[in-house]
Structures are given as C-alpha cells and as structure tokens.
Structure 1
Amino acid sequence: MKDQDTLQRFLFDGTDTRGEITTLASSYQKMVVSKNYPTSVALLFGEFLAAASLLSSSLKYPGIVSIQASGNGPISMIMAECSQGQQLRGIVRGHFEDLTSKQWSERQGVSALLHKSTLAITVEPENSERYQGIVPIESDNLSDCLEYYFEQSVQLPTKIRLASNETCAAGILIQQIPSSQTMTEQQHEWQHLCTLFATIKSGEQLELSHNDQLYRLFNEENVRLFKAQRLSFFCSCSRHRTEQALVSLGIEELLETCKEQGQVLITCQFCAEKYEFTKDQVTTMFNPSTGLLH
C-alpha cells in the first residue's frame, strides 16, 4: 500500500459532506514495538491512533487533539494525540497480567479491556481556549463511541470506521457539514452516502490504497481526494526536559535513589527512551553555577 502514514481529506462534489481517510504503519509500529503490549491492547491502541489522526483534521490552527479513555479494567488508561502538523504519540497503562490468555492474544472490545469507562476528546489550540467533550463508553466498538461523541458534543452527523492489525492501523470518516440545502435534500444525500459507507470492510481499509478504498465505496459519486499529509511519530522528551522534571523532586529524594539503585533511571512513557543520571550528575543539577538552578 502506497498510502502508509498519511492522512487525506476528500469531498463529495455537489453535496455537503466531507471526509478524511488515514493509514498508519511505521508511525504505529514505533509506538508499540518497544512496549511489548499484549496483542489485544496493541490493536485497540492502533484504533485510538487512527482516530486521533482523523480528528486532527478539525484543527485549523496549530494545536493538538487527543482521545483518552480511563476505566477500571485491564487497561486503566489509553491515550492518543495528534497535532495539526500530523505528529502522533500515545500511551497505554494498565494491569495486563489480569488478562486471560484469550484476552491477551485476540481482539477485544473497548468495554472488555476498560470495563466501566469514559471517553474524553480534547482539542487544544495553541493560541485559544481548550475544549473537552466527555461521553460514557457504552459500546464495545470505538467507532460507535466516537460517533456518539459527535452526535452529543459536536452535533454534526458523522460516520467513522477504524481497523487495525499487527502491522498497521486505518480509519475513515465522513461528516455532514452545515448546509444551505433544504433539510430533506441534505438528509437524502447523507443517508445515501451512509448506506455506501457501511459496506466498508476492515480488510479493505488495511490493504487497499486510499484511492482504491474510495472507489470501492463511492465509485458512482463525484469524490475529490486531496493531497496526502504525512504522519509521523514524535516525542518531545529530551535529557534537558527530564532534568527539569527531576529537579522538582528535590535533591534529597534523588540522592536517596542513587544510594539505593546506583543511579536515577527515567524511561520516557511515550518512546521508551532511557535517561540515566549518576550521583555526580544529580548534584550538578542543583549547583547554581553549573546546573539548572540559576
């Protein structure tokens, strides 16, 4: 497939419906390969990442959109975010030892992995007010949960389909936009496109190019596919940022860790990069002339 790690907008000419389509490959793999997530967890994580990519299209200015679910199941928290510049990152936390062998190795629904949980979608424009919508997770299907969010919080009719396997994740979205057409005309067009959209299969999303997917679904419609935007994994961690975070803990706690463990070892929760600090390096952080405190 030639559309790996891209996001593309499409429009239905002559209608008031827009769409987004995405496929993640190496960007998805970079976020799971070092984490050793159970297969079921990695597959759900892939769907969250694809969804964040789709929703980032709503950002008109620099900012970030994130999708996060918290619950009391084997997964306690799962989060994916994508910037307006199409940079992705995410994380999953939980008690994976609580998974049965079947739950570990086979695809599981959202509720099965999170139990009672909520879904929060947060839009954070760089220079304006943060917005967050929260809905209960009442379906085992993340696509259905997101459609419910759009219905309740955004009030724009939206259809979403997400798919994932061990190597890639994919998503497609169609959305009705405000129109000057009569309600009857707009509703007829929307229902027609939804009927076609419902025929998409997850295997097609994961195997076909974006152009071929749209042709398979809407070959009798006037669909205009825009230029692809490149997606990538990005983590903002650095040794300097890690030092700044450690300083807030205080020198006594850090030196005690060095005494007990020989060093302070920090692993980035997003990219698994490891940062090691010796006793001398810890002391230097707190030296007004050479460290961070000046």
Structure 2
Amino acid sequence: MQTEIETYSDKLLGFTLPARNARARVVRLDTVVKDVLSAHDYPAPITHLLSEALVLGALMGGLMKGDEAQLTMQAQTQAGVVSLLVCDYRGGTMRGYADFDEEALAGLGANPSLSALFGEGYLAVTFETGGGRRYQGIVPLEGETLAEACETYFVQSEQVPTLIKVASRSGPDVQIAAGLLIQHLADGEEGRERLHVRLDHPDWEHVVTMASTISHDELVDSNLSLEALAWRLFHEEEEVRVQPGAELKRGCRCSAEYYETVIARFPEAEQAAMRDEDGRIVVDCAFCSKAFELQI
C-alpha cells in the first residue's frame, strides 16, 4: 500500500482486502463535528451521541456512489429522553441534530446508556441512490452503542457481515470523532457460495480479529494518518488497495427560497395561522439553528 498524500481529518478513506473479499471505510472528523455541534449548546451525553452518529453517517454514506446519493440515519422513540436523532450525508456534505428532554437527561448521570437515552426506540437507515431509487431498513435500537445498532441493520436488512468501531474525544480545545467500518462482500462468481450467508466464514473471522485490535486512541490520534491506521491493521495481507474518498464538510440545505416553496403549498388559512403578531412567517432550521423570515 503506497500513497503520495496521506489523509488525516475530515476526509473519507476507503480500502479493500481483495484476498479476504472485504471492503472498509475509515474516517476522522474534526472541523465537521465541531461545526455541527456549534449550532446548539448540547450537553456532554448528546455531544457524544451526535458525534457518533456523524461518524456512522460518514462511514455508511461513503459506501454509496454519485454526488446525488444520500444516506439518512434516524433514531427515534416516543417515550425516551432523546426523542429524535437524525444525521444525513450527501456527496460529502453532512448535517445532524438531536432533540431531547433536558430535564430528564440531567437525571441520567454523566454516561447514560443507549437504552436509557432512547428506551424502546428504533433506527431507520435510508439510502437514496439517485434516479428515484430508495430503500430503507428499520431495526430496534438495541445494543450498547449506535454502532452496534448499525451492525444489526447490515446483518438483518442487507445480510452483509459488518464490523464498526467508533471513538470520540471531547475537551475544551478538542472535539474529534472517528470510526472504522469493514464488511465481508458476497462472492458473486457463478457456482460459488455467497459469502454473506456465512457469518462464520474463516476469511471474515480473520478480518474481524485483526480489525478489532484497533484502539480508541489510534482512531482519535490526529497525528496518525488513516492510511497508516489501515496499514497497522492489515500490513500482513497480500494486498491493501487504498481508495481516497470524499472531502467532508458541514452543510445545511435550508434556505428561505426552499421554505417559501414548502409553505406556499399550504392553504391560505393555515398560512395565516403560522404568522406571528407582526404578520411574519418565521421558520427555524433545527440543523443549523438559523431563522428565516419568509416573503409570502
């Protein structure tokens, strides 16, 4: 594995292990996660949760091809402390938002579990691949982390063995989140068994063993390139093929023009009910925390 320019933060890196029929994505978010979190004054548990969601969004979104392809990940519950967590990825542009009960959250302590935050919630993962093609999988929010829930999604909805590792580091001057996603792909040659029907395939067991050695500190080490990280894990393989991915940035697709188009579809009576005492219709974007005064 040889690369001229190494990748450190806010850019995806893909790599494959041809001899093991495996593909991977690895990412470290720095500016992106800071920019998304800056839209709201989130408490520490929500900061951690949303940081993990952004990493997962980048890893899974990075599996798609095409600038118009979009991934949306939404965790939701009717009776949990966090009522909504949403993150989406489109062509390297990301955004995310969490809605929660601040008073109930304060009663959970410093490190609440996923079940404490969501109760009996669910995770919906939606892939829009362009040309009107859209598919979605919904799984229970079970496990210790969002990453485990995403692993369940891939196994149940796509029958693709998947391992995901996520880490984050927060402090007064630092906000970094990173992760690794690696999958065992189906062997499509005619007459041969499709690998995804065997979660105990020896090649996959080997890949899991090696990938699981990655540490929290390695993932969030901003001085360690993502290429070096992949090489540390799999330098004994016959070949590691590196595939540079998209540059990542925060980007909200909200605009006054967009909201005006949406509101214009409502009957006049409903538009009147939306106006404030000064006769204005003002829409707040939850993602970027901006208010738009509409000219309608």
Q: TM-score, normalised by structure 1?
A: 0.84
Which segment is superposed worse, 263-272 or 72-81? 263-272
- 1:258 and 2:277 aligned: yes
- 1:80 and 2:87 aligned: yes
Q: 1:169 aligns with which of 154, 171, 177?
A: 177
Partner residue in 1 for 2:73: 67
Aligned-CA RMSD value: 2.3
Higher normalized helix content (fraction of residues): 1
Q: Distance in 1 between matches of 2:226 and 2:166?
A: 14
Which segment is superposed worse, 168-177 or 245-254? 245-254
Q: Distance in 2 between matches of 1:40 and 1:94?
A: 11
Count of residues paired in the alignment: 272
- 1:92 and 2:106 aligned: no
The residue type equivalent to 2:153 in the other structure is Y
Name the SS for the 1:121 alignment partner: strand
Q: Distance in 1 between matches of 2:92 and 2:112?
A: 28
Q: Is the 8 A contact 1:44 1:164 kept in 2?
A: no
- 1:219 and 2:219 aligned: no
Partner residue in 2 for 1:291: none
- 1:200 and 2:217 aligned: no
Name the SS for the 1:150 alignment partner: helix
Please list, as runs of the form range in 1=range in 2, the aligned pairs for 1:78-227 lying within 5 A after superposition. 78-83=85-90, 85-100=91-106, 103=109, 106-166=110-170, 167-179=175-187, 180=189, 187-207=201-221, 208-221=224-237, 222-227=239-244
Name the SS for the 1:58 alignment partner: coil
Q: Distance in 2 between matches of 1:102 and 1:120?
A: 25
- 1:3 and 2:8 aligned: yes
Percent identity among equivalent residues?
Answer: 29
Q: Is the 8 A contact 1:258 1:264 kept in 2?
A: no
* Cα deviation code 1:46-87 (max 9, x no counterpart): 11111111111332343211111112221001011111x111
Unaligned runs of 5+ in 2: 1-5
- 1:12 and 2:21 aligned: no
Q: Distance in 2 between matches of 1:46 and 1:12?
A: 28
* Cα deviation code 1:20-68 (max 9, x no counterpart): 1111111111111120111111111111111111111332343211111
- 1:233 and 2:250 aligned: yes
The residue type equivalent to 2:64 in the other structure is L
* Structure 1 position 2, deviation (Å): 5.3
Q: Distance in 1 between matches of 2:165 and 2:112?
A: 16
Q: Is the 8 A contact 1:43 1:107 kept in 2?
A: no
Q: Distance in 2 between matches of 1:249 and 1:107?
A: 46
Q: Identify if the C-alpha distance between structure 1 residues 240 and 214 changes in structure 2 by more than 3 Å, giving closer, same or farther.
A: same
* Structure 1 position 195, deviation (Å): 0.6
Q: Distance in 2 between matches of 1:249 and 1:31?
A: 34
* Structure 1 position 114, deviation (Å): 1.0
Q: Distance in 1 between matches of 2:65 and 2:132?
A: 12
The structure that has the greater radius of gyration is 1
* Cα deviation code 1:213-247 (max 9, x no counterpart): 22332232232222242011111111222333444
Unaligned runs of 5+ in 1: 286-294
* Structure 1 position 101, deviation (Å): 6.0
Q: Distance in 1 between matches of 2:13 and 2:219?
A: 14
* Cα deviation code 1:170-195 (max 9, x no counterpart): 111111111247669x9222111111
Q: Distance in 2 between matches of 1:216 and 1:145?
A: 27
Q: Distance in 2 between matches of 1:154 and 1:194?
A: 18
Q: Is the 8 A contact 2:137 2:153 kept in 1?
A: yes
